[in-house]
Amino acid sequence: MRTPDLIRFARDAATGNLLRTALLVLSVAIGVAAVVVLTALGDGARRYVVNEFSSLGSNLIIVLPGRSETGGFNPANAITSTPRDLTINDAQALLRATAIRRLAPLVVGTSEISVDGKLREVMVAGSTTQFIQVRSLAIAQGRFLPDEDWERGSAEAVIGAKIRDELFGPEPALGKLVRIGDRRFRIVGVLKSSGQGLGMNSDELVIVPVALAQAMFNTNTLFRILIEARNREAIPAAKAQAEEILKLRHDGELDVTVITQDAVLATFDRLLGVLTLGVAGIAAISLAVAGILVMNVMLVSVAQRTAEIGLLKALGATGNTIRLTFLVEATMLSLAGAVVGFVLGHAGAALIRYLYPTFPAYPPAWAVLAGLATALASGILFGVAPARRAAALDPVQALAKR
């Protein structure tokens, strides 16, 4: 039988029962669409986190008080109990390190900011002049904190764009006096609006000198020290030097954790990569189920077309020809389902991107290809048994059926 005739014969057989064909195609399509959409979500999450981390500032090293076993990000690090304080002096000592370009100590807490009767709860960060560069933020109006003695600090504050809008509206914010906690500060700068920074949205941030923040929150220890290495290659050296200096200052005990942004990034990347893979695997199970459905439908088709198969044999069709016609039919149905699922899946991912523009929900190529291949393979695999059954039918008995 010629190939174009084979394909046309299979197509006619498939369209002979439209409802059955449509349901089969739909089941395969759902499987493929699930793979595409779910991997888009998983990979989108991975990309989102990696992008956000990248936007924190490159060559970043973070010092945390307290020791944790793993080098990567450990949520337990958020709550620390350390015998020794990480002090402003510790931070200043780190300036000696040759591999370090700049650094900024960090204290955080929540407080209330009030001006002209308006009151708002805000996140307050206490830091120093280089914070803005280390964190890759930009000033929209005015200036950042001045370069002054870290242990003192003048009563100046820099506010985020959203805070500015909410408290001052159309009026200028620079030069105004505000009350933060129980102190008065003068606004000297407004930050440029930026997206989400992990854990701290800079638009809703108020930044004051670190010493005053420590007084405000009644703490002697720093939350973090943010370090920017000289360049990418200097990151390991900067990490080693920071650990060395702090160890010496802390009686030879390394009771701090120094993590590089790379390590954190790598952990997240790996974590979410595995998540995406797992999700793809689960979606692939639905494709295996669709394959079983193909087998079921094809077996029913063989049973219903028994007389036809007997006729074909009487007309001179070889077992191979009959096997091929059913196999081609199963393949066509799986292919149609795969294509429909591909379109549906991409449409779904596009919808997610439309609803959540900051979430990069793009289905990765490897997942899409794997989904399509699995759909086709399972369709063909599960089409073999019915095809063989059809070819093995006894023509006399087959013709005896109506």
Which residues make up the interface to other proteins (CB under 8 A)? 1-2, 5, 9, 12-13, 16, 307-308, 310-321, 395-396, 399, 402
Compare residues 315 and 365 and give the one whose CB is closer to other proteins: 315
Comparison of 17 and 154: residue with beta carbon closer to other proteins: 17
Q: Dihedral of CA 97/191/120/79: which sign? A: negative
Nearest distance from residue 311's CB to other proteins, in Å? 5
Rounded Cα gap, residues 155 and 199, in angstroms: 25
Residue 310 or 363: which CB sits closer to other proteins? 310
Residue 246, both tokens: 């702090």
SS3 state of residue 240: helix
Query: What gap in Å lies between CA 36 and CA 30, rounded to an integer?
Result: 10
Cα–Cα distance for residue pair 298/390, rounded to 1 Å: 10
Write the DSSP assignment of 68-116 as a string of letters: -SSSS--GGGGS---SS---HHHHHHHTT-TTEEEEEEEEEEEEEEEET
The angle formed by the CA atoms of residues 126, 129 and 131, to the nearest 5 degrees, is 65
Nearest partner of 362 among 44, 18, 2, 26, judged by Cα: 44
Is the Cβ of residue 174 or residue 311 nearer to other proteins in the bound state? 311
Minimum CB distance to other proteins, residue 3 (Å): 10
**CB of 343: closest distance to other proteins in angstroms?**
28
Q: Give min distance, CB of 400 to other proteins, in A.
A: 9
Q: How far is the CB of 334 from other proteins (least distance, A)?
A: 21
User: Which of 200, 225, 188 is CA-nearest to residue 107?
Assistant: 225
The two three-digit tokens of residue 243, written as one number = 């650990």
Contact of 389 with 323, CB cutoff 8 Å: no
CB closer to other proteins out of 254 and 396: 396
Closest separation in Å from C-beta 301 to other proteins: 12
Q: How far is the CB of 363 from other proteins (least distance, A)?
A: 38
Cβ proximity to other proteins, 310 vs 383, nearer residue: 310
The one-letter code for the residue type at 188 is V
- Considering the complex, what minimum distance in angstroms separates the CB of residue 318 from other proteins? 5
Q: CA 159 to CA 119: how far, in whole Å? A: 14
Minimum separation from the CB atom of position 5 to other proteins (A):
5
Nearer to other proteins, 239 or 323 (CB): 323
Q: Where are the beta strands (DSSP E) in 137-273?
A: 139-142, 156-159, 177-180, 183-191, 196-197, 200-201, 205-209, 224-229, 256-260
Read off the tokens for 208.
Answer: 């004051």
Question: What is the rounded CA–CA span in Å between residue 56 and residue 62?
Answer: 11
Residue 328 beta carbon to other proteins: minimum distance, rounded to whole angstroms: 14
Q: Closest CB to other proteins among 301 and 374?
A: 301
194 vs 306, beta carbon nearer other proteins: 306
**Which residue number, 2 or 96, has a Cβ lying nearer to other proteins?**
2
CB distance 147 to 129 below 8 Å: yes
Contact 330, 386 (CB under 8 A): yes
Rounded to the nearest 5°, which phi and psi values hold at 93?
A: -60, -30
